[in-house]
Chains A and B, each alone.
Chain A
Amino acid sequence: MDHADLKSGRLTPDDYARNFADAHPPLNRTQALIEAERCYYCYDAPCQTACPTGIDIPTFIQRVAQDNVRGAAETILKANPLGGMCARVCPTEVLCEQACVRNTNESKPVEIGLLQRFAVEGYFANPGARQLFERGQPTGKRVAVVGAGPAGLAAAHGLAWRGHDVALFDAAPKLGGLNEYGLATYKVAGGFAQQEIDWLLSIGGITPKLNCRLGRDITLDGLLAEYDAVFLGLGLAGVNALGIAEPDLPGLRNAVDFIAELRQSAPEIVPVGRKVVVIGGGMTAVDAAVQSRLLGAEQVTMVYRRGPDGLSASTHEQHWAQTNGVTIRCWARPLGVEAQGGVLRGMRFAATSLDGGKLVDTGEQFFLEADLVLRAIGQSFVAEPIGSAIALQGGRIKTDEDGQTSLARVWAGGDCRYGGRDLTVEAVEHGKRAAVSIDRALGLTTARHLDKEAAHG
Chain B
Amino acid sequence: MADLSTNFLGIKSPNPFWLASAPPTDKEINVRRAFEAGWGGVVWKTLGEDPPVVNVNGPRYATLFSQDRRVIGFNNIELISDRPLQTNLDEIRSVKRDFPDRAMIVSLMVPVTEDSWKAILERVADTGADGVELNFGCPHGMSERGMGSAVGQVPEYIQQVTEWCKKHTRMPVIVKLTPNITDVRFPARAAHAGGADAVSLINTVNSVMGVDLDRMIMSPHTDGLGSHGGYCGPAVKPIALNMVAEIARDPSTADLPISGIGGITTWRDAAEFIAMGCGTVQVCTAAMVYGFKIVQDLCSGLSNFMDDKGYRTLADFQGRAVPTVKNWNQLNLNHVEKAVIDQDSCIQCGRCHVVCEDTSHQAIFATKDGQRHFHVNEAECVGCNLCVSICPVPGTISMRALQPGETDARTGRVIDGSYANWTTHPNNPMRTSCA
* CA of A105 to CA of B391, assembled, Å: 13
Which residues of chain B have C-beta atoms less than 8 A from A43's C-beta?
A: 349-351, 353-354, 366
| B397 CB to nearest chain A CB (Å) | 14
| Cβ-defined contact, A42 with B350, below 8 A | yes
Q: What are the interface flags for B52-75 relative to A under an 8 Å C-beta threshold, 1 for contact and 0 otherwise?
A: 000000000000001111000000
A44 within 8 A of B: yes
| Cβ-defined contact, A65 with B353, below 8 A | no
| Cβ-defined contact, B348 with A46, below 8 A | yes
* CA of A44 to CA of B354, assembled, Å: 9
| Cβ-defined contact, B347 with A102, below 8 A | yes
Query: Which of these, A36, A42, A45, A105, contacts B67 with CB under 8 Å?
Result: A36
* CA of A43 to CA of B373, assembled, Å: 12
* CA of A67 to CA of B345, assembled, Å: 32
| Cβ-defined contact, B348 with A40, below 8 A | no
Which residues of chain B have C-beta atoms less than 8 A from A17's C-beta?
A: none
Which residues A241-296 have CB closer than 8 A to chain B? none
* CA of A40 to CA of B348, assembled, Å: 11
| B40 CB to nearest chain A CB (Å) | 35
| Cβ-defined contact, A101 with B68, below 8 A | no
Query: Which of these, A36, A44, A65, contacts B366 with CB under 8 Å?
Result: A44
* CA of A102 to CA of B349, assembled, Å: 9
| Cβ-defined contact, A104 with B351, below 8 A | no
A366 within 8 A of B: no
| Cβ-defined contact, A40 with B67, below 8 A | no
Which residues of chain A have C-beta atoms less than 8 A from B372's C-beta?
A: 44, 46
* CA of A21 to CA of B429, assembled, Å: 76
Known contacts A40-B392, A43-B366, A44-B366; A33 and B351 CB within 8 A of each other: no
| B98 CB to nearest chain A CB (Å) | 43
B393 within 8 A of A: yes
Which residues of chain B have C-beta atoms less than 8 A from A40's C-beta?
A: 349, 351, 392
Known contacts A43-B366, A44-B366, A105-B393; A33 and B67 CB within 8 A of each other: yes
Known contacts A34-B68, A37-B67, A37-B68; A42 and B393 CB within 8 A of each other: no
| A143 CB to nearest chain B CB (Å) | 39
| Cβ-defined contact, B393 with A65, below 8 A | no
* CA of A45 to CA of B349, assembled, Å: 7
| A17 CB to nearest chain B CB (Å) | 33
Which residues of chain A have C-beta atoms less than 8 A from B66's C-beta?
A: 37
Which residues B335-372 have CB closer than 8 A to chain A? 345, 347-351, 353-354, 366, 372
| Cβ-defined contact, A101 with B349, below 8 A | yes
| A103 CB to nearest chain B CB (Å) | 8
Which residues A24-71 have CB closer than 8 A to chain B? 30, 33-34, 36-37, 40-46, 65
Closest to B346 in A: A104
Q: What are the interface flags for A99-133 relative to B under an 8 Å C-beta threshold, 1 for contact and 0 otherwise?
A: 00110110000000000000000000000000000
* CA of A40 to CA of B353, assembled, Å: 13
Closest to B357 in A: A43
Which residues of chain B have C-beta atoms less than 8 A from A30's C-beta?
A: 69
8 A-B pairs in the complex with CB atoms less than 8 angstroms apart: A33-B67, A37-B68, A42-B350, A43-B366, A44-B372, A46-B348, A101-B349, A105-B393
Q: Which residues of A come within 8 Å of B, CB atoms?
A: 30, 33-34, 36-37, 40-46, 65, 101-102, 104-105
What 10 A-B pairs come out closest when comparing CB atoms? Answer: A43-B350, A37-B67, A43-B354, A104-B347, A101-B347, A42-B349, A40-B349, A101-B349, A34-B68, A40-B392
